[in-house]
């Protein structure tokens, strides 16, 4: 039985899976991470140009949190599959 736990400040994600289920989820987590990285790059570019609104700054922070969470989940899932 595999177990992934992650507790960011806003929400808590827990997955209890066997190795086969974890292997099946890894590509989905990678895909979600890739999309989150694209969104983060978009808002970071706006931020670095100095033209970001408050809403875009908030969106950047949320994207950074999402990337961090997904990256952590992916790392833990890879460890559990080994």
Domain boundaries defined on the chain: 2-81
CA–CA–CA angle 7, 26, 43 (5° rounding): 65
Residue with tokens 């990678």: 30
Least confident of 6-10, 14-18, 36-40, 43-47: 6-10
Percent of the chain scoring above 70 in pLDDT: 79
Burial of 40 per CB tally in 10 Å (0-12, 13-18, 19+): buried
């Amino acid at each position: 039985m595999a177990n992934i736990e992650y507790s960011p400040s806003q929400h808590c994600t827990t997955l209890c899976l066997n190795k086969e289920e974890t292997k099946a989820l890894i590509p989905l987590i990678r895909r979600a991470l890739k999309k989150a990285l694209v969104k983060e790059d978009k808002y970071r570019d706006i931020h670095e140009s100095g033209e970001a609104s408050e809403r875009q700054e908030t969106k950047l922070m949320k994207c950074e949190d999402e990337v961090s969470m997904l990256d952590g989940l992916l790392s833990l899932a890879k460890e559990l599959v080994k």
